[in-house]
């Protein structure tokens, strides 16, 4: 077997073990939770909200603002390098479905955080398009400037 074949087998084995271990942990956790419904009581801090809504708002905070560092980096450096616009566009499209789902189940956290997420992903794609267009224009100007600087024979 070639060295590449040995290396690829060695790197796949830990991943397979990790996958099987994660599956085992999830299965044990789910089996232990059978018949234990969560009690969704009113929050002590804000009685008009259920505890699940508070947890939903906190969970949404983290997942919604995960794309913000990319947008900030692009704006700070005025560059689209390293950004994948397809990822943001696909995420934004599915967040629209989450908004619809939130409307169907009447869940304020699902609606609110996914609306914000759609806006952040839209901003991310718009920033990518803007900076990519500017970078392309700069490359074209530098290429035409280099060509026009030649002295004809």
Q: Is the pTM of this model over 0.85?
A: no
Note the pLDDT of residue 1.
47
**Per-residue pLDDT reduced to its tens digit, 98-148:** 999 989 988 888 898 899 999 998 888 888 899 999 999 988 888 886 665
pLDDT digit string (tens) for 53-96?
777 778 888 888 888 888 888 888 888 887 888 888 888 888 89
Domains of the chain by residue range? 1-36, 50-148
- H/E stretch holding 22 reads helix 3-32
Structural class in CATH, domain 50-148: mainly alpha
């Amino acid at each position: 077997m070639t060295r590449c074949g040995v290396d690829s087998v060695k790197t796949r084995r830990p991943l397979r073990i990790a996958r099987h271990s994660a599956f085992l942990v999830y299965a044990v956790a789910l089996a232990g939770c059978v018949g234990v419904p969560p009690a969704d009581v009113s929050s002590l801090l804000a009685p008009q909200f259920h505890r699940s809504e508070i947890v939903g708002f906190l969970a949404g905070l983290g997942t919604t603002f995960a794309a913000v560092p990319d947008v900030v980096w692009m704006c700070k450096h005025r560059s689209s390098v390293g950004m994948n616009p397809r990822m943001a566009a696909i995420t934004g499209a599915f967040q629209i479905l989450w908004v619809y789902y939130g409307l169907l189940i009447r869940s304020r956290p699902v609606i609110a955080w996914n609306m914000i997420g759609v806006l952040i992903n839209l901003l991310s794609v718009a920033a990518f398009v803007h900076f990519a267009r500017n970078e392309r224009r700069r490359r074209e100007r530098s290429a035409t400037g280099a060509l026009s600087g030649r002295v004809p024979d």
